[in-house]
Amino acid sequence: MRILVLGSTGFLGGHITERLRALPGAQVLTGGRAPDSDVRCDLATDRPDALAEVLAGIAPDSVVNCAGVVGGSALTLAEVNARGPAALCAAVRAAAPGARLVHLGSAAEYGPCPGGERTPEEAPARPPAPYGATKLAGTLAVTASGLDAVVLRVTNPVGAGAPTAGLPGRLAAELRHATAQTPHGTVRVGDLSVHRDFVDVRDVARAVALAATAPGPLPPVLNVGSGRAIPVRDLAHGLVRTAGFRGRLEESLNGSGRSAAVPWQCADITAAARELRWHPEYTLAESLTALWGAAPGAPAPSPARQDA
């Protein structure tokens, strides 16, 4: 089975590529702007016919799109998160119409959700910020394409290599810096009272592998999360304990506008369990151990669990 992974150098893309390469009989190729990609392409700028030429030369059985950005200008978000998937769908339709397309969406597409409830795939999508809006546009391009495609709406991934654009990676970097300066320093964070659904990046990678190789058609959208909402404060203090930080975590009441607009997030993952026979296997503590253990100079985490 030949699988093309776009955006393989990112946080999610790296873990997903590693997981796919472990599949028996899989030939995994990477595509993107990175010099070491098997094929060079850029979904944000390449014309669909140029992308189609790339796909025709590969003849993939599955295409996994991990390309995306979480920050930047509205133009950058639109080019990568909205224009990119639309161009990819046009290229797949022209050059590899029989391929399975797996696209990574985001739970940010839902926007505000009722507190205390799990959000199913059919819930209204009302993103309050450009990131969620552009990710939703990408999802709509995929689901309306007529292709054999599925969008995996991922909640907040945590694990080794988490970028500083998100709280887990940013807090880990700040804890490392503070620990290097003084063991009793202070790390300042924003408001940690909102609730989020955190999922291990290795569980996300396994869901993608199952979606890319599933024998039959899949629903257009599947949630991938832990199915459990926790205060972000719990994650922060869990990482402090994992790091052995003996200083003080100083919380400010001023959080980001995006976080304040969505005080509760929790995915209903019933459909993924039914359609993919998937469920999260890693605990948040294991995710935080992997995140901290992958940091430069930190002790190595315990061996990764062998997933089925």
CB 228 within 8 Å of CB 197 = yes
Cα→Cα distances 38→21, 28, 53, 155, Å: 14, 9, 14, 29
Let me know if 300 is exposed, middle or buried by CB neighbors in 10 A (0-12, 13-18, 19+): exposed
User: For this structure, is 131 an active site residue?
Assistant: yes
CA-only gyration radius of the chain, Å: 19
Sign (positive or negative) of CA dihedral 149, 155, 161, 165: positive
Q: Which of 7, 81, 95, 131 is catalytic?
A: 131
Question: Cα(162)–Cα(295) distance, rounded to whole angstroms?
Answer: 10
Catalytic residues: 131
